[in-house]
Every structure is written in structure tokens, then in C-alpha cells.
DNA sequence: CTGAAAGCGCTTACAG
DNA sequence: CTGAAAGCGCTTACAG
């Protein structure tokens, strides 16, 4: 069995190149300080020895972990309530793209898991205290999220993927976030269907509580609002103000979609198209309407997941590579390789990024 | 803005506790060496200061990264060919469970990505040379996988999730792996359906080339073989030897499943049940047979993904937590917190673990 | 059981 | 442009 060979150190590179440690370090970190011939010698030695700097030593000296952490969740559903066909699609794809974006800046991504919120606080605490990370990605944030308080107390830069709905400080630079504009998405789908000549465009989404605030207070409401505002504006012949016409709400499951299709077809037989809050719901509407009628309803979904591709319906695509790049920018600024507290008042980087989904027509 | 507070060091703990560094280190790493009263003092100081050892310093000194790496793939399909409804389910769930299992042993999981095989070699090379990891998880291995050669040359312990099909050294301790027994799975489903009284049990799977070797040479063939062997044994009334009776092969897509349902129903109208190679294929068979007949065919899928739950059909479940635990054992042995080269001839840990899926009946 | 000291492999002021 | 030296925060033989 091959034993792990002791990796070459900077000392060996210096010896082989016939220069001092300092020079080797300079060639690697500040090439400008060293004249070309010396650089060449050093680089040749680096190549010969297949040298890479020892990351632990560098981290110790620079006090920079050059790492960020992100939580991973299980996609295996344990209980009975539906979570759709591919609940983790966005999260998993985001983590993938985050790793891509981080690699581009020389940053490592460390994953962690949590059984419950307290467990997560412990894990984050350890990650920060051991100085394993100098930045954190938070997903699915709650109102008054205790994780934010913790991370702030540690002075570790963070960013949330998803707006902190309902938080007073939603637009404070203390609460940087990146999100995809759901309302814009459903509006876009509605408009496109209208432009294609359809006039009876319904909506199938998730349940939410009504309240008196003027702005949407969660994702469910946000996506619904995009459809409602747009169809109300386009179609003056009906009153959509109650929000009940042509729209239905149910669980995130194929069955939920099926139920809504049945409901909508019964109440509004003239309906032609249904804008849906998710690909799972869209599939439910598609299948059930195909069963009840000869010709299924036209549907659009959300996330452009494999489901929408396999069943060939339109869907709103979130550009997760761009989401990930934006997240990294908020942690590191426009360039450079350090995770740091960005001064959003002085730099061009924005603390809040709302990306627009695009409609993939099928 | 809260600046990142300088974390407490072992020196400060020692001062507060009124002991030497050495003693603090001992309390943390070898508690037995220190008497209880001293331990108490030290632990109190640790708590007061919220001290965690600096991971970089520990790594530098011990020359152990206490980290493993695993590749992440995108689940977003770029080209036209079907990859099913949830191609990444097993991989993503495995990475999640791997993180859980690693955390239990104090090991970090680092993710990386690769655009192509050469890129992956570069990434692995860097990870090893910078001593960021001391163990590696490899998925989707190829015949004569160059990654294995590379990692072996670095002397970094590794394990593959998935058997190295066709490799001469498949059962060598130089090639440790963990896998799920697909053949056993489809056999199990076939047997259960038979026991329930069904007699006309077909199979819908992926395409593969036939060859002259006696053993299956890939996953596709392995899953097919489980059905064929079992049904041949149970049903002496027919000849299944050609492997063509009651079985069909196609792409991993809903459409592929649909095509096979149509084909099987036409050729064998008496067919009642179809054992499928995946949940995606099972859904295709379910939907198409429901369209062609009043009563859809009974199907079973593979992976117990959300698809099988949403559409309520039976599926073969891989216990990925156990897969992950086995992977960690192969890298670290039965206990302890070091990633190392296990001497499989001397320890009870096995270099090859083939887990049995269980049938979730719905 | 406890302490003083060396050293892991880097980076970085500082001096030349 | 280059070199000798200090020090990051640990762990670990070694001496008491």
C-alpha cells in the first residue's frame, strides 16, 4: 500500500530554486515583487516538486479560513404530507452552483447538517469558534432567525438565500440577501399566455393566510400576487379583486394540483391555462385536466426542474449560477479572494439582490 | 457592524484556569491524564471563554485535515436526452447522509465540482497537495478510473460509492467500495408480487449490450438479472432464457416508461405487474397503462424517491444513511477519529460492502 | 500529574 | 529585489 508521501514544503521549493522562503512566498502571492528570471526558477521548482501550499499553515498564519459553510437537507420525505416531486431541487442546485462560484474565488465549501434549530445553532457555533469558516450561507430563514443573531455576534459575514419576509430590517445592510422574484415570474407567465391569445388564465398555488398588509408576506403570496396583478390589469372584463376568481390553493403535491384542476374546471369551464406555483402542482393540473377532458389544460410551473422537462410544460427558471455568484459577491465584494464585511455604502456591491426568473416556453 | 472578535486561544484558557497550555490540551485531548479537579477548572475556563481549538493550528500540527471531499453534480439537464425525473436523488441524499456520518466522527465534508474528467483530476490533485483532505469519496467510477490511480499515488485513502464494474481488481482491498445490490432488489420485488398471487410479472429497464461474461457488467444488467433469475425460477411454465419475454428496455425517462408500457401491453396482454429499474420508468409505465386500459398496471420502482411517494407505487429503498456510515467506516475503521489506511486483513472492517435494498410496499 | 520548549509550514514586517 | 527572523495556535516528546 502506498503510504502517504510527505508533501513538499516551501522550504524544499526554496532550496531547489536556490532562493529564500520569502521569495517563494512572494512568487506565489505577490509575483510583481519578484523579477521574471527568479520567478521562472521558482515556478520550475514548484512544478518539479508538485508543490501546493499547505492550506492549514496558510490559514493559521493569515487567520483566514477561506471557507464558507452551507447546510444540507435531506430530500427523503419522512412523514405523510406532500412536499412535491423534487422539493430539494433548488437547494441542491444552489449548493452545486455555490461550490462552482466559490471555487472560482479560491474558497472551499463545507457542508453541515442539523436535526433541529438548536442543533443548527450548535453546529454554526462550532464552525465559527474553530475558525473553520469565515462566511456563512443561510437558507430558509425565519422571522427573527436566531442564527442571524448568533452569526452577527461572532462577527462572521453571512448572506441568506431567500428574503427575510416580514422582517423590519429586510432592507437593512445588516441583513444581506439574494432572492428570485416570484411575483415577477408569475406575472411574466401570465403576460406571455395573454400575448399568445389566451384570455382565461387561472392560477394554482399554495395556501396562505390573508392579512391586512399591502405587501406579500411570503413566497406563496408573492407568486399569487404576480398573477393577480397582471391578469387584473389585462382583463378589465372581470373582477379579480377578491382573488378568488380563476384561482385555487392547495398543498404542494401532485394530488393538490389534481384537486385544483378539478375545482377550477368545475367552477370555470372556460379556463384554458393555469399558471402554477410549482412544477409539482403544474404536473397535477396537467394530468388531472387530461383525465377529465380530452385536451389537457395548458400549464406553467416554477423552477424548470426535470419534471417540467420530462412532461414538456413551460416553467420559470431561476438562474442559480447567478444566485450563487451574487451570494459570493456579497461575501467577498466584486473581486479579490477574501471573505470580509463589505461596506455596502462605499462599494458598488449591493446588499440585496432580487433576480428575475425567465420563462422557458415548451 | 460587529467586527470579528479575535477568538480565544488555548493560552487564554490556560491563564484563566491558572494552568499551563499543556494541561489545557490534555484536558481536551486526553482527559485521563489530568486529575478531575484540574479538569473542572479548565472546563470552566473553556466555557467562560467559549473556547474551541483553532482547527487550522491543530491541522498544521497533527498533519491531519480531518476532512473528506465529495464531488457535487448539477441536476439541471442541459441537453435533450432524458435523465429522468430526479436523476440526482441518490447522489444528493448520499452527500447529505455522508455529512451526517462524518459529523459523528468529527470530520468535515468539503464539496468540489468538475466540468470534465481532466478538471476533476486537477481539483483532486489540489485538494490532496494542499492537504485540505485526508480522504476522498468517489462516485460514478469508470473502468480504469484515472482518479483512483491519482489518489493512490498521493497515498490518500478513498472509497467509491458504486462497484467498479468489470474491473479485475473489483474485490481487491486496493479498491474499496460500497454499493447497493440492485439484483437483490428486483428479485425481491418479483418474489413479493409472486407471493401476492400475480403470475404475469414483467420488467421495464434500461438498455444494455449483451456479452458473453456470466456476471452482470453494469447496473442496468444487474437489475434486469434479478428479475430474470427470479421469475425463471418461479415460473417454469414459460421460457425466460432469452430474456426477451415480458421485458422491455428503453431510456431513463417518463417517455421511455410509456413506450415500454405500450410495447408490453401489446405483446403480452395478460401482463399484470411490471418491475421497473427506476421510479421514473415506473411512473411512465403507470401513466401509459392507465391511459390505455381502465386499470393501470401494478408497478414497482427503484430508489423510493418522492416520485414513488407522490404517485403511491412500491419502490426499492436504498438505506443511504447506512451507505454513508459504511463509507466512513472504510475510511476510518470501526471507531476512532482518524482517516487512515485500514488494513482490511487485520481489522474487522470490510473493504467491500453490498447493502440490500428493502421493498417499500404501497 | 504538570510545565517549559520545540516545531508544524506558512506569511509578513523589517533590514539590507 | 532578496534574506533572516518572528510568530500564528496548536500538540507532543521530554523533564521534573
Residues B306, A84: C-beta atoms closer than 8 Å: yes
What is the model's pLDDT at position A1? Answer: 44
For the segment B305-359, what is each residue's pLDDT rounded down to a tens digit?
999 999 999 999 999 999 999 999 999 999 999 999 999 998 889 999 999 999 9
Q: Which residues of B30-60 are buried (b: 16+ CB within 10 A; e: fewer)?
A: eeeebeeebbebbbebbeebebbbbbbbbbb
Tell which wins on pLDDT, A308 or A166: A308
Tell me if B193 sits within 8 A of B362, measured CB to CB.
no
Asked whether residue B9's C-beta has any atom of DNA/RNA strand D within 7 A, the reply is yes
| Strand D bases within 7 angstroms of protein beta carbons | 1-13
B28 CA: nearest nucleotide by C1': D11
**Strands lying side by side in the sheet with B177-180:** A352-355, A177-180, A158-161, A135-139, A67-71, A108-112, B108-112, B67-71, B136-139, B158-161, B177-180, B352-355
**Higher pLDDT pick, B141 / B261:** B261
Closest residue, chain A, to B319 (C-alpha): A76
Does residue B32 approach strand C to less than 7 Å at its CB? yes
Decide if B253 and A310 are in contact by the 8 Å CB cutoff.
yes
CB contact B313 to A (< 8 Å): no
The pLDDT of residue B1 is above 50: no
Summarize pLDDT for A127-164 with one digit per residue, the tens. 999 999 999 999 988 888 999 999 999 999 999 999 99
When pLDDT is averaged across residues B231-252 and rounded to a whole number, the result is: 83
Residue B70: its H or E element: strand B67-71
Q: How close, in Å, is residue A26 to chain B by CA atoms?
A: 18
Alpha-helical segments (H) within A69-217: 89-104, 117-129, 146-154, 182-195
Please state, in angstroms and rounded to a whole number, the distance separating the CA atoms of residues A180 and A163: 9
Cross-chain Cβ contact B4/A55 below 8 Å: no
Residues B74 and B78: their CA atoms lie apart, in Å, by 10
Mean local confidence (pLDDT), A208-227: 89
More confident residue, B202 or B50: B202
Domains along chain A with CATH numbers: 10-53 (1.10.260.40), 67-180+320-354 (3.40.50.2300), 182-317 (3.40.50.2300)
pLDDT digits (tens, 9 = 90+) for B183-228: 999 999 999 999 999 999 999 999 998 887 888 889 999 999 999 9
H or E, element range at B12 = helix B10-17
Give the DSSP H or E segment for A56.
helix A55-62
The mean per-residue pLDDT over the stretch A293-303 comes to 95
Nearest CA to the C1' of D4 belongs to which residue?
A20
Cα distances from B313 to residues A308, A354, B83, B255, B310, in angstroms, run: 21, 39, 20, 18, 8
Nucleotides of C under 7 A from a protein CB: 1-14
Nucleotide closest in space to B11 (CA vs C1') = D9
Rounded Cα distance between B103 and A222, Å, is 37
Residue B120 has pLDDT above 80, yes or no: yes
Residue nearest to nucleotide D1 (CA to C1'): A34
Select the more confidently predicted residue: B215 or A71.
A71
Q: What is the DSSP letter of B218?
A: S
Contact call for residues A86 and A307 (beta carbons, < 8 A): yes
pLDDT value at residue A66: 96
CB-strand contact A11/C, under 7 Å: yes
Nearest to B76 among A1, A93, A109 (CB): A93
CA A78 to CA A85: how far, in whole Å?
14
Contact A74 B83 (CB under 8 A): no
What are φ and ψ of residue A177, in 5° steps? -150, 165
Q: Is the pLDDT at A244 greater than 70, yes or no?
A: no
Residue A28 has pLDDT above 50, yes or no: yes
Judged by CB atoms closer than 8 Å, whether chains meet at A85 and B89 is answered as no
The whole-number pLDDT of residue B241 equals: 64
Instruction: Tell me the mean pLDDT in the region B43-70.
Output: 93
Q: What is the pTM of this model?
A: 0.95
Amino acid at each position: 500500500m502506498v503510504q502517504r508521501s510527505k508533501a513538499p514544503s516551501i522550504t524544499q521549493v526554496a532550496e531547489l530554486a536556490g532562493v529564500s522562503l520569502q521569495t517563494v512566498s512572494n512568487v506565489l502571492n505577490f509575483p510583481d515583487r519578484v523579477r521574471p528570471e527568479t520567478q521562472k526558477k521558482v515556478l520550475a521548482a514548484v512544478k518539479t516538486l508538485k508543490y501546493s501550499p499547505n492550506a492549514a499553515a496558510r490559514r493559521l498564519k493569515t487567520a483566514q479560513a477561506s471557507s464558507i459553510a452551507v447546510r444540507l437537507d435531506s430530500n427523503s420525505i419522512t412523514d405523510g404530507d406532500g412536499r412535491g416531486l423534487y422539493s430539494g431541487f433548488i437547494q441542491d442546485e444552489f449548493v452545486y452552483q455555490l461550490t462552482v462560484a466559490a471555487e472560482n474565488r479560491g474558497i472551499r465549501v463545507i457542508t453541515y447538517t442539523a436535526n433541529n434549530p438548536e442543533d443548527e445553532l450548535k453546529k454554526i457555533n462550532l464552525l465559527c469558534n474553530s475558525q473553520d469558516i469565515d462566511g456563512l450561507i443561510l437558507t430558509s430563514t425565519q422571522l427573527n432567525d436566531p442564527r442571524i443573531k448568533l452569526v452577527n455576534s461572532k462577527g462572521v459575514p453571512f448572506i441568506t438565500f431567500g428574503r427575510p419576509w416580514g422582517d423590519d430590517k429586510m432592507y437593512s445592510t445588516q441583513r444581506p440577501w439574494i432572492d428570485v422574484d416570484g411575483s415577477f415570474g408569475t406575472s411574466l407567465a401570465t403576460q406571455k399566455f395573454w400575448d399568445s391569445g389566451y384570455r382565461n388564465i387561472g392560477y394554482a398555488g399554495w395556501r396562505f393566510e390573508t392579512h391586512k398588509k399591502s405587501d406579500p408576506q411570503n413566497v406563496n403570496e408573492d407568486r399569487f400576487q404576480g398573477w393577480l396583478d397582471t391578469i387584473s390589469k389585462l382583463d378589465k372584463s372581470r373582477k379579480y379583486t377578491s382573488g378568488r376568481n380563476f384561482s385555487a390553493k392547495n398543498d404542494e403535491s401532485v394530488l393538490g394540483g389534481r384537486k385544483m384542476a378539478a375545482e377550477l374546471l368545475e367552477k370555470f369551464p372556460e379556463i384554458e391555462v393555469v399558471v402554477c406555483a410549482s412544477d409539482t402542482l403544474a404536473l397535477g393540473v396537467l394530468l388531472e385536466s387530461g383525465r377529465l377532458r380530452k385536451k389537457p389544460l395548458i400549464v406553467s410551473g416554477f423552477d424548470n426542474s426535470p419534471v417540467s422537462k420530462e412532461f414538456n410544460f413551460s416553467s420559470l427558471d431561476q438562474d442559480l449560477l447567478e444566485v450563487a455568484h451574487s451570494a459570493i459577491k456579497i461575501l467577498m465584494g466584486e473581486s479579490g479572494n477574501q471573505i470580509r464585511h463589505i461596506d455596502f455604502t462605499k462599494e458598488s456591491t449591493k446588499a440585496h439582490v432580487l433576480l428575475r426568473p425567465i420563462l422557458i416556453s415548451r
